[in-house]
Structure 1
Amino acid sequence: MTARIRVEIEDDEDGAETRSLARWLTRDSSITPRAGVALDQADGVDDMGGVIEVISLVVSSAIGLGSLVVSVASWRDSRPKPGRVRFRLPDGSLVEVVEDGEAVIHDLAAAVGVLGGGDAPDRP
C-alpha cells in the first residue's frame, strides 16, 4: 500500500526553503528508492495571492517513512534558522516538526498504520 504525504514549510514566502528541501530529498540515496519526490503546488494561495509550493512524496513502506523523517531532520539541522516543517498525511492530519525530534518521530510513527503497519508505541 502506498501513501501520498505532502511536506510544507511554514513562512516560506519565496519558496526557496521548499525547493532546498526538495533538492535535499532528491539527492538523498536513502529516500529516492523508497519515495517519489516532486515539487507541487499547494491547494490554496498565500495572503499575497502567490501559489505556495509543497513537496509531494509517495511513500510505500514504513522504512521509506522513517528515511523521510531522518532526512528532513538532517536538512533542518543544516539550516541557519530552520522553520516549521509540516507533514500532511493522507487523512488530512498534520504533524509539525518544530524542535522535539523524538516527539515528531513518534507522531509520524502513528502514520505507519496508513502504510499497513501496526500501532505506534505509546508516546513518552
Structure 2
Amino acid sequence: MTLNPAIENHAAVITVRPDREPGSLWRWLGDDPDAHALLTGFGGPADDEQQGTFEVINTVVANGLALSSLVVAVAGWRDRRRAVPPTVTLERDGVVVDVTGASAAEIAAIARALGIPEDDEPA
C-alpha cells in the first residue's frame, strides 16, 4: 500500500477487523466525514487467515485525534447493530486492541496501546 507522502513518515496504519458485517462497517465509515478521510483500503483476510475468513479495513491515523474519530465512528456503528454488538479489533504492528466503547478514557488507552501520539504530541 502506498500512503500519502505528506503523512507517510508519521502515520500509523491501523487494521480494523469486525467479526461480522465488514461491508456494513466500511459503508458506515465511508459516510462519516471524519472517518472517511482515514480509510485506505478494504480487502480480504490477513496473511495468517484462510481466504474468505473475514475482511479487513485499513486506515491511516497520524495522532490521537484521528484515532478518536475512527473509534467514535466504529462505536457508533457497533451501537446500531443487534443486541450483541460485533467485536471490532484494531491492530498495529502486532498490537491488538478490541473496541468496546468510545469514551475519552477508552480512546486514550487505545492510542497508548497502539503507540499513537496524543493530539498535542508530534507524530
Question: Same fold judged by TM-score > 0.5?
Answer: yes
Letter in 2 for 1:25: L
Tell me whether 1:82 sits opposite 2:85 in the alignment: yes
Aligned residue type for 2:18: I
Aligned length: 108
Stretches (4+) displaced over 6 A? none
**Structure (1 or 2) with the greater strand fraction:** 1
Matched residue, 1:38: 41
Give the root-mean-square deviation of aligned CA atoms: 2.3
What SS is found at the alignment partner of 2:35?
coil
In 2: Cα distance, 1:64 partner to 1:54 partner = 19
Kindly indicate whether the alpha-carbon contact (under 8 Å) linking 1:5 and 1:88 is maintained by their aligned counterparts in 2. yes
Measure the CA separation in 1 of the matches of 2:118 and 2:15: 18
For the 8 Å contact 2:67–2:107, the answer to whether it is kept is: no
- Kindly provide the CA deviation profile for residues 47-74 of structure 1, in whole angstroms up to 9, marking residues without a partner as x: xx53421111111232111100100010
Identity value in percent: 37
Are 2:90 and 2:98, in contact at CA under 8 Å, matched by a contact in 1?
A: yes
CA distance in 1, matches of 2:96, 2:64: 18
Contact 2:64 2:108 in 1 (8 A): no
| CA positional deviation for 1:111 | 4.3
How many Å separate the matches in 2 of 1:111 and 1:40?
24
Q: Supply the distance in 2 between the matched residues of 1:66 and 1:116 (Cα, whole angstroms).
A: 10
Work out the CA distance in 1 between the residues paired with 2:114 and 2:87: 22
Alignment match, 1:114: 116
Residue 106 of structure 1: how far off its partner (Å): 3.7
Distance 2:42 2:96 in 1: 18
Q: Could you tell me whether the CA contact under 8 Å between 2:89 and 2:98 is conserved in 1?
A: yes
Give yes or no for the alignment of 1:24 onto 2:28. Answer: yes
TM-score normalised according to structure 1 size: 0.72
Q: TM-score, normalised by structure 2?
A: 0.73
Q: Which runs of 5+ in 2 are unaligned?
A: 1-9
